[in-house]
């Protein structure tokens, strides 16, 4: 772990106690994968926030990161990582929607290599700085529309989409190895809550057999900012 991680120690936010409380809460909320809990314990969340919000870093809530976007709440980050792992080791992972880079840093703890893309240039620059401060060397960030597609040869064990959509980005599915899965907040336009379509964490698994079919499983209801086309 990089020494810089302790640079905010003065305000007590990286105290073992604060982090331990967050881990205890994640356990109560049903997170069971010890590999994920260890990753959540290892990565300081406050460094991904603006100074004025740092004291709130370990609350279980989404917080603004600028340009109308949010850092996901700790439970959501832990749950998506748990679903992406499904108890198996991950070699390569693709993340769509880097945002603050916090989910990226967690994925970088549990995977060999993480490719992450973000459509907003301002956020790419900030996330790049945060990930560098943490000394993470197994992450590649790019400024791009993650739904456009990648080099045909890219094959990953998991794709984590951290923005909500009602349309499954089907052209990403070809990047899944057999047995690999995509975790995505998928909205059902027919079920609405306060006028908004309800999103559920959804896992799309590429079956390992020769049929090359996909299996879809629906999990908890969540609320994400929208997956949008183009770069900004």
Structure tokens at 224: 């994400």
Examine residue 44 and tell whether it contacts ligand SAH (CB under 6 A). Answer: no
Position with the least CB separation from ligand SAH = 99
Rounded Cα distance between 14 and 23, Å, is 13
130 is a site residue for ligand SAH (CB under 6 A):
no
Q: Which is nearer to ligand SAH, 103 or 109 (CB)?
A: 103
Q: Which of 119, 130, 181, 206 binds ligand SAH (CB under 6 A)?
A: 119
- CB of 58 within 8 A of CB of 26? no
Which strands, in side-by-side order, build the sheet including 176-193? 139-143, 111-118, 90-96, 156-161, 176-193, 196-206, 214-222
* 134 contacts ligand SAH (rule: CB under 6 A): no
84 near ligand SAH, rule: CB under 6 A: no
Pairing of strands 69-71, 176-193: unpaired
Nearer to ligand SAH, 103 or 205 (CB): 103
To ligand SAH, the closest distance from the beta carbon of 207 in angstroms equals 26
Least distance from C-beta 222 to ligand SAH, angstroms?
Answer: 11
Dmax of the chain from CA atoms?
57
- The C-alpha atoms of residue 106 and residue 183 are separated, in whole angstroms, by 15
Which tokens hold the place of 166?
A: 């009602």
Choosing from 31, 117, 156, 158, the residue that interacts with ligand SAH (CB under 6 A) is 117
Q: Which of 15, 72, 86, 166 is catalytic?
A: 72
Give me 115's structure tokens.
């490719």
| 86 catalytic residue (yes or no) | no
CA dist., res. 122 & res. 32, Å (int): 35
Residue 159 interacts with ligand SAH (CB under 6 A): yes or no: no
Query: Of 16, 98, 19, which Cα lies nearest the Cα of 57?
Result: 19
Q: Quick one: angle between helices 74-85 and 16-28, nearest 10?
A: 60
102 binds ligand SAH (CB under 6 A): yes
Q: In angstroms, what is the minimal distance from the CB of 208 to ligand SAH?
A: 28
**Residue 14 binding ligand SAH, by CB under 6 A:** no
Q: Which residues carry out catalysis?
A: 72
Interacting residues toward ligand SAH by CB under 6 A: 65, 69-72, 96-97, 99-100, 102-103, 117-120, 123, 145-147, 162-163, 225, 227-228
């Amino acid at each position: 772990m990089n020494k810089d991680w302790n640079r905010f120690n003065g305000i007590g936010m990286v105290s073992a106690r604060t982090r331990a409380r967050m881990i205890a809460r994640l356990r109560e909320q049903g997170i069971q994968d010890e590999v994920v809990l260890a990753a959540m314990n290892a990565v300081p969340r406050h460094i991904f926030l603006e100074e004025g919000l740092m004291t709130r870093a370990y609350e279980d809530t989404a917080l603004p990161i600028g340009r109308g976007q949010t850092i996901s709440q700790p439970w959501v980050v832990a749950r998506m990582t748990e679903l992406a792992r499904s108890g198996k080791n991950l070699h390569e992972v693709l993340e769509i929607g880097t945002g603050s880079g916090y989910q990226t840093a967690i994925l970088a703890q549990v995977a060999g290599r993480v490719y992450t893309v973000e459509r907003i240039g301002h956020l790419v620059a900030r996330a790049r700085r945060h990930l560098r401060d943490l000394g993470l060397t197994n992450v590649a960030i790019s400024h791009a529309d993650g739904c456009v597609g990648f080099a045909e040869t890219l094959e990953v064990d998991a794709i984590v989409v951290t923005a909500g959509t009602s349309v499954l980005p089907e052209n990403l599915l070809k990047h899944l190895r057999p047995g690999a899965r995509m975790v995505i907040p998928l909205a059902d336009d027919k079920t609405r809550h306060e006028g908004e379509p309800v999103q559920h964490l959804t896992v799309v698994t590429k079956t390992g057999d020769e049929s090359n079919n996909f299996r879809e499983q629906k999990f908890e209801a969540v609320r994400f900012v929208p997956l949008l086309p183009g770069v900004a």
